[in-house]
Chains A and B, each alone.
Chain A
Amino acid sequence: MKQTLHSATLDNGIVLLGEDLPGLESVAVAFHTPAGAIHDGPSRCGLATLSGEMMLRGAGDRTSREIVEVLEGSGIQWAQSVSTSHSSFAGAMVARQLPTALPIYADILRRPRLPDSELDNALQMVLQNLAGTEDDPAHRAMSALRQLHYPHPLGMPSEGISADVEAIGIDDVRSFVAAHVVPRGMIIAVAGRIDWHDFVERVSDLFGDWRTDDRSTVPIGSRGERVRHVPHDSQQTHIALAWSVPPYRHDDSYEASASLSVLGGGSSSRLFSEVRERRGLCYSVSAGYHTLRDCASAICYSGTSAARAQETLDVMLAEIDRLPGTIEEAELDRVKSRAKSALVMQQESSAARAAWIARQWYHLGTVRSLADELARYDQLNVASVEGWLAENRPAGLTIVSLGKEPLEVPREVSA
């Protein structure tokens, strides 16, 4: 398949990435600034999220309302989000609207007003969202798992912690934006019906003279305890497990994620077959791969009624333990086929591709071509996956349960 990828770096460090997707009418653009939740700081968990929200509340010569009116009135679907590593602003639109969108995003990123008068509303909005997550038991279980498993502050919830958010003042927000919303480390990715040279020119005009820098480093602390039960009055008990695997930039992350896909990636995976199909223990059960830049984890999840939760955990642990030494070629073929097919079909969405090429650059410092990526999947075989598993047996599990009663966890599993 023919693929056209572009990249350029401005003098101030901003990386521009592009991909032509012929056949689409749309363009998606995403601005990933290095102002992620990792920079929240002590007792300020949620500062990146609140700052991202405040950046939309007036920028350049537009009020919050005018920004939304111009974007939506131009048919631009906009989104804003914060992850551990980035604070991101994105838009998807009919290609002809890109010249309207870019200057608005430039205002949001470079000229946010951050008005004191909007702080209380923005703060209440973040607190409302946090209260909503309190009512989502699966989200709470996964959030607790990440907090315990990753070294501090890598697993802290980007959406914040209520007590911390309530204490944030306008000066915190202004300092955070000034320090971390900077050109160096920023990625601007565009995909769809693009004119690359025109795009580079417009972005250079809007962002080329931006000269601030962030040299701060975040000290990485220790991880939390291995096993935790979160009491919650619900019919179902939620089980979340994690263990460490190599991050995406390590070449053997493909072997790691393939083995996890055999375990719990599709409807023919082992967890789905054994836990749901054969035993009818739950509605949802899965295993997947979650990566940050310098560390990554295998994550398994299931939710089931309290009376059957212990059996569900026991079966999940047995399947994890059984994985090394038992992978069959047919299983691996299915995993490869699913991954390759998903990669090709991603080409039909400009937003998905813009996100993908930015993710690749962040992790690898380059964008792999589709052909290279597909070839890497072809290299996977039983010997390579088993070889990796033999050296990296799942061990030292972090286990979180959320529900009425705690579960029995065999000591050796978390050792």
Chain B
Amino acid sequence: MKFLHERLPNGLDVIAEVTDTALSTSIGFFVKTGARDETDAEWGGSHFLEHMVFKGTHDLSADEINRRFDWMGASANAFTSEEDTVYHAAVLPEQQLEVTALLARMMRPALREEDFETEKLVILEEIRMYDDQPPFGADDRCRATFFGRHPLARSVLGTVESIERMPVEAMRDYHRRRYSPGNIVLCATGAVDFPALVASARQWCGDWEPIAIPPRRVPLDARTTGSVTLESITRPTSTLEYAVRMSRGPAGDDDDRFAAKLLAAILGDTSGSRLYWAMVDTGRAEQASCHHQDFLDAGLFATQLSCDPEDAGELLAMIDTIYRQAAEQGLDRRDVEQNRNKLAGRWVLLGERPRRRLFDVGPEWAHSGDYRSVADDLRTIEGLSLDDVHRVLARWPLHGTGATVLAGPLPLDPSLEPASEAQ
């Protein structure tokens, strides 16, 4: 496995992790833009634009794009998050030139008004689809409260209103500002012909005009993310109650982010964790889990619970007790060892699939300008100690803090309101 990098004169980064034994080639354009980079008038625009990229260029129709991907046997898709918009395809190695050219051309979409209005209907259907599904918007609401006025508060899909009132000109302007070559990484993994990849990038992306990109990092307001809040969304027909809680954790540039992931696994992995044995194994909750998520300038622990509506208050209190005990009494070495092996095993399995590696290598470079091999990550995971996990617990306690949003059939139980000592 080897890593290669070249930067075009206009600033586009071309990177590859080459595995000689791989049977496939994965190609991705990682655009460093997402919901956090939108203005109020552009809310939901990054994700809407991701759809519009598939609607064609000035000399390529939407049907032609779809036909070409299928003709290549490509497994192609795209996604948008708070910080990234990613277009990706996995193909057999002989299709590398063709698929790179197609994705590259798509990065300069026509953004026709007629397509824009038709696709708007699809976006509105996507918003309704998620609104009908658990956790019924509790995750978006929780993030909005937790981040307050920070740009990460913005939800990816936008709202029915923000999408309906968005004009095509706003999207064209957003695309011009954000899809600058210096803001894009072309990443490939698997069986990659790197010289050919660079040649493709020069041919299709070499004339993209660079535009200055403003800095993205914004300091977090500790008063907002540190406060204790409780909200509820009432869904009379929901069977279960869904709860999402977010509290502070290490950011993407913090060395403690690996220890934070280990801590989250010990406390709340979907199997074998403290929350699992207390609530899922006993059938008290459908789900009770915790994971760590990091961004450029922020990090959080997200706790998710789904259970019988009558039990929500009691189980949330139980989760808080489990977190408090971990902080006050400490964890033991066996917890650390077992979960370190679990994460390492997971990493090896994910690491040997080039189609999956694309989503580690691409974002790492886009966010930090670094490359980390599977071996680098494994060394870090295997080097984590009980002290590291305890330090994370001390720096970012999970108990008695955080924004909580409930969604379910019952009105908010007043006994769940945050106690005054925590405010």
Contact = CB atoms under 8 A, between A and B. Distances in A.
A72 B337 CA distance: 10
What secondary structure prevails in chain A residues at the interface with B?
Answer: helix
B121 A280 contact: yes
Given A69-B338, A338-B70, A345-B23, A75 B344 contact: yes
Interface stretch (B32-40, B123-131, B223-231): B123-131
Interface in B265-304: 271-272, 277, 280-287
Contact of A64 (B21, B119, B281, B285): B281
Nearest to A335: B70
A269 B67 CA distance: 9
Contacts of A337: 70-73
Given A277-B63, A349-B353, A122 B131 contact: no
Contacts of B318: none
A344 B92 contact: yes
B102 interface: no
A306 B283 CA distance: 35
A348 interface: yes
A267 B61 CA distance: 13
A234 B63 CA distance: 32
A124 B126 CA distance: 33
Interface string A110-139: 000000000011111111110110111100
Interface residues of B, number: 67
Contacts of B285: 128
A137 B337 CA distance: 40
Nearest to B128: A235
Contact of B74 (A73, A341, A349): A341
A132 B118 contact: no
A342 B62 CA distance: 23
Contact of A341 (B92, B120, B125, B240): B92
B125 to A, nearest CB: 4
A280 B118 contact: yes
Contacts of A273: 63, 66
B342 A234 contact: no
Interface string B52-65: 00100000001100
Contacts of B24: 344-345, 348
Contacts of B353: 348-349
Contacts of A69: 272, 338
A349 B22 CA distance: 11
A234 B236 CA distance: 11
Contacts of B76: 267
Contacts of B22: 23, 348
A284 B338 contact: no
B70 A334 contact: yes
B239 to A, nearest CB: 4
A305 to B, nearest CB: 6
A134 B242 CA distance: 13
Contact of B128 (A236, A281, A342): A236
A342 to B, nearest CB: 7
B283 A235 contact: no
B311 to A, nearest CB: 10
B71 A334 contact: yes
A125 B73 CA distance: 41
Nearest to A193: B352
A283 B345 contact: no
A123 B283 contact: yes
B283 A124 contact: yes
A267 B69 contact: yes
B307 interface: yes
Interface in A361-378: none
A380 interface: no
Contacts of A65: 277
A345 B128 contact: no
Interface string B313-343: 0000000000000000000000001110110
Contacts of B118: 277-280
B203 interface: no
A204 interface: no
Interface string A11-32: 0000000000011111000000
B73 A340 contact: yes
Contact of A77 (B70, B74, B131, B349): B349
Nearest to A277: B62
Contacts of A333: 71
A72 B67 contact: no
A339 B341 CA distance: 36
Nearest to B90: A345
B348 A26 contact: yes
Given A26-B352, A136-B134, A344-B23, A73 B71 contact: no
Interface string B129-151: 10111100000000000000000
A145 interface: no
Contacts of B90: 345
> 7 closest pairs, A vs B, by CB?
A124-B283, A75-B345, A341-B73, A23-B21, A280-B121, A334-B70, A268-B66
10 contacts: A64-B281, A125-B280, A128-B240, A132-B134, A132-B287, A232-B237, A236-B132, A338-B70, A342-B75, A344-B92
Given A74-B345, A281-B125, A330-B71, 11 more contacts: A23-B22, A25-B352, A72-B338, A75-B344, A135-B239, A135-B240, A267-B54, A280-B122, A334-B71, A342-B73, A347-B23
